[in-house]
Structure 1
């Protein structure tokens, strides 16, 4: 049975390909880890932003609720506390003549927001689709959020960045409650309606800058770790180049060998058949092909078991190897079928070879599970490539078909015989 030498170039470059593949895996693995850390960190920071915004919103809502449930807060009227022009009768006069003016929830929200703005912490803004106070008019973010609230959204948030600042914006709806009805019932609101919303805005530039520095740190650490690991891998692979060459030969053999019988497999046979046909046509050499099928093989499996059937196939493969030339190609074609490719072999010589193999199989004794002996036979079909045959693209398929047809003729004629194809 012919051996196919592994190309030297493949041996030479195998370890390089292995190194590249391992390097890619290592790099992708490390990149995945660092990206995962970065994404997880970003997610945690984003969740912290959202938690902070919700807390601010909840605090101002609770403060407004306290104001509304007490009917507003009255403070001494003066230049710093003028009357709210958008309220009806906002002022009251005490017995001593002091005038007090009402700070309703909306006005209180704006004033608290101004205190927060001056301290540089955050900004509240109360707004609605059609505000009475122009100062409460929504901006683009708030207008979009209000539209979403009408569709059922519970909150809206976004991180806005420019060249110098990073701003986090959050907004949630305000629903009409019992304490709101004294002021808003006349506007047509009912309990549970969305009458507007409060946005919370705060600067997260410092945190984002630190996050950016962390990302650069992750990238640098990832590059350093990757280079270190790649250096170690390159060192190890360079020492294992010889072993990898042997491993490549083993893998190559496995890819072209039938696992059970250890002869060539069908895929490799077809590749060699194309090569031998091309060589025969180029140099004007004859070639022949044997198609072999074990007679009554299903009966062997049924009577003695599949393990015995496998033993028969392996033993016949050994017979083929010991009764053919080193240049001949023996392959398992499928199931109990074998093919034998005979380069530089004329039809008559191929017939003699087939009959020699047939007789060797017939003489071979096999042992059954109960230790009794039994014999098997095989049917052979022979096809040959003649120099007068036209060189067509399907010549390989035609040779196989002719040998296969001849083999079935041998079976129909009583099995355990050789039939030569009538021609291409």
Structure 2
């Protein structure tokens, strides 16, 4: 359960990292794309401004442009003597830079492309009064700003407004000297208004598409990560469990090894003392095992040990803990067992070993017997020297020694009391 929790936390953290990373890429892409589009809009507006300034400069250079005063063409009421008459009776009226700018703006606005507006803080023509954006821009120009722009909603459309200053030139003084302007001063500005509704709609659509793709990629990637990590977790868990089993298992007999036995013995003694339940221990030693190695070879000895371990495991309860103590010695922790119950269990094992056939690879059968020493925890006194585990093992080992001294192939059950 703890391992699953660790893997779950790892997967969650990894998923968060992936989501944050992909979200960062998405936000960076959106920001960069929007910045490029915004910069392009600014460049477009600036280009429109510069084009109209060049046209105005050309117009002013010639002192205004005269056009024939045909039907629908009116004279500029803010100019002194704007009309001239030719000898053939035709009338021409002056189109000064300001009027030219306004008329070009009308053409552009009708084409729904862009709109110019010439303005100043002190306009002659009421149509040239500055709006809030233009007023703020004009004030900033007088403080040294070179341009101003913003995006706003206007009549249900998204509009980009750009404005840059107009400086007094020598050709301008013809009309504006009486207003007190001097060459080089800011006399006003021209705002350029672009309808960017479609552009921003495309930006929003692209953002939604990019967000959807990022979400889909994120989900796909997270699914792949979860699948791969889950498989890896299962394999690593299985490998860990295998290593864990190997670390507590005797390689030859596949019983628990001595290290695990000592751990379990301490646990069972602690449980027995806590709840007042009985617990016993048996130590077994295969009789004359050295003769098996000497007469049949060490390979045959390994076969005997393996078969003995299988028989021992089959003849104790599932709750008991059989283990290889070392060499030809084995131990069994008998849970919930009194000394008499442990002796009966030991005798069962001893009899079955004596009657069993231990076959070796060459087909021969080797007679095997075992000596068993049994001790019980409930017979250990508090005055005994050392820990309960040491005393219990020593007591069972003393009983085993007596079994061997009394002729082997027998069970001796004693206590330390």
The 1:228/1:162 distance shift into structure 2, 3 A limit, reads farther
> CA 1:36–1:240 in structure 2 vs 1: closer, same or farther (change >3 Å)?
same
Contact 1:19–1:237 (CA under 8 A) maintained in structure 2? yes
Q: What pairs with 1:18-417 in structure 2 (closer than 5 Å)?
A: 18-161=10-153, 164-241=156-233
**1-side partners of 2:171 and 2:95: how far apart?**
15
Higher relative contact order (CA 8 A, sep 6+): 1
Structure 1 equivalent of residue 360 of structure 2 = none
Q: SS at the partner of 1:220?
A: helix
Q: Per-residue CA shift, 1:140-199, capped at 9, x if unaligned?
A: 111111111111111111111368421111111000112112112222111110000001
Q: How many residues align?
A: 243
Q: Compute the displacement of 1:80 (Å).
A: 1.8
SS class of match (1:159): strand
Give the Cα–Cα distance (whole angstroms) in 1 for the partners of residues 240 and 179 of structure 2: 84
Cα distance in 2 for partners of 1:248, 1:179 equals 90
Where do 5+ consecutive residues of structure 2 fail to align? 242-273, 275-385, 387-417
Q: 1:36 to 1:163 in 2, by over 3 A?
A: farther
TM-score between the two structures when normalised by the length of structure 1:
0.54
> Could you say if the C-alpha distance between residues 135 and 164 of structure 1 is closer, same or farther in structure 2, counting changes exceeding 3 Å?
closer
SS of the aligned residue for 2:63 comes to: coil
SS in structure 1 at match of 2:144: coil
Aligned partners of 1:15 and 1:245 also within 8 Å: no
Structure 1 gaps, min length 5: 1-7, 250-282, 284-348, 350-424
Q: Deviations over 1:115-157 (max 9, x none)?
A: 1111111110000001110011111111111111111111111
TM-fit CA distance, 1:96: 2.3
Assess if the C-alpha contact under 8 Å between 1:15 and 1:244 holds in 2.
no
The alignment yields a C-alpha RMSD, in angstroms, of 2.3
Match for residue 300 of structure 1? none
* Residues in 1 aligned to 2:236 and 2:153: alpha-carbon distance in whole angstroms: 53
Distance 1:32 1:131, change over 3 A: same
d(CA) in 2 for partners of 1:46 and 1:31? 22
Measured in 2, the distance between the counterparts of 1:80 and 1:219 equals 54
Cα distance, 1:244 vs. partner? Answer: 6.1
- Give the greater-gyration-radius structure (CA): 2
Residue aligned with 2:74, SS? coil
Pairwise CA distance, 1:33: 1.1
1-structure distance, mates of 2:156, 2:80: 44
Distance in 2 (alpha carbons) for counterparts of 1:208 and 1:45: 9
Assess, with a 3 A threshold, how the Cα gap between structure 1 residues 209 and 163 changes in structure 2: closer, same or farther.
Answer: farther
**Is the partner of 1:167 in helix, strand or coil?**
strand
Q: CA deviation at 1:241?
A: 2.1
Matches of 1:225 and 1:106 in 2, distance apart?
56
